[in-house]
Chains A and B, each alone.
Chain A
Amino acid sequence: ELKVEQNPLFLSMQEGKNYTIYCNYSTTSDRLYWYRQDPGKSLESLFVLLSNGAVKQEGRLMASLDTKARLSTLHITAAVHDLSATYFCAVDSRSTPLVFGKGTRLSVIA
């Protein structure tokens, strides 16, 4: 059974600081996704990572994938308040549906 673990589950960080969210998954997977969710809202797709060593960047967020370690990271650079949200990683393969982690609730404070 495919399992996805994120850590930390809660993160409070100061504006301007850097931090990394980790996503581990338990079995071989084809694809890894990062989503953002604001309170009471739906999920917004951030990144899709398809292969070992894949790295994608958008603004202050950068995601990477190490399929051998079954690990993805979401790195936040110089955090700003607008990044406050819950971030989910999710994993699927051709034979399994999308499995989500529990999410990392990020709060950026001044």
Chain B
Amino acid sequence: DTGVSQDPRHKITKRGQNVTFRCDPISEHNRLYWYRQTLGQGPEFLTYFQNEAQLEKSRLLSDRFSAERPKGSFSTLEIQRTEQGDSAMYLCASSLAGLAVYNEQFFGPGTRLTVL
């Protein structure tokens, strides 16, 4: 299967701990996105990369959040000093963006974070 994969699928942590999530995009895709989805809401954009460059960050991405895509392939999202309000599904998506290509994003299965 060559879809977007995420790891772990579920994470339970205590408030104040740090967590890190990983996303592996579809191999030929140059863009990678992170979203957060809370219960009953649509996904909210957090940040995205084109290759290894982080091109945009939402104001939702507080300074406790950091994302990397070091070699333009997989990406990590780290949350430091987790708070209960961070509990959500974290979705990763990838796309192939270019001048003549529409930017359809394909989503991974998500990482569900629960902060106790």
Total interface residues on A, CB under 8 Å, equals 21
CA distance A72 to B44 in the complex (A): 20
Q: Flag if B33 contacts A43 (CB, 8 Å).
A: no
Q: Which residues of B (28-46) have their CB < 8 Å from a CB of A?
A: 33, 40-45
Q: How many of B's residues come within 8 Å of A, CB to CB?
A: 21
Which residues on B sit within 8 Å (CB–CB) of A101?
Answer: 42
Q: How far is the CB of A88 from chain B (nearest CB, A)?
A: 5
When distances are taken between beta carbons in the complex, the residues of chain A under 8 Å from B105 are 33, 45, 98
A-side contacts of B67, CB under 8 Å: none
The interface of chain B, by Cβ under 8 A from chain A, is: 33, 40-45, 48, 56, 58, 91, 93, 102-110
A97 contacts B42, C-beta separation under 8 Å: no
> What is the predominant secondary structure among interface residues of chain A facing chain B?
strand
Partner of B108, one of A42, A99, A100: A42
Tell which of A33, A41, A88, A100 has the most Cβ of chain B within 10 Å.
Answer: A100
B91: nearest residue on chain A (CB-CB)?
A: A42
A residues less than 8 Å from B93 (CB atoms)? 43
Which of B33, B40, B108, B110 meets A98, CB within 8 Å?
Answer: B33
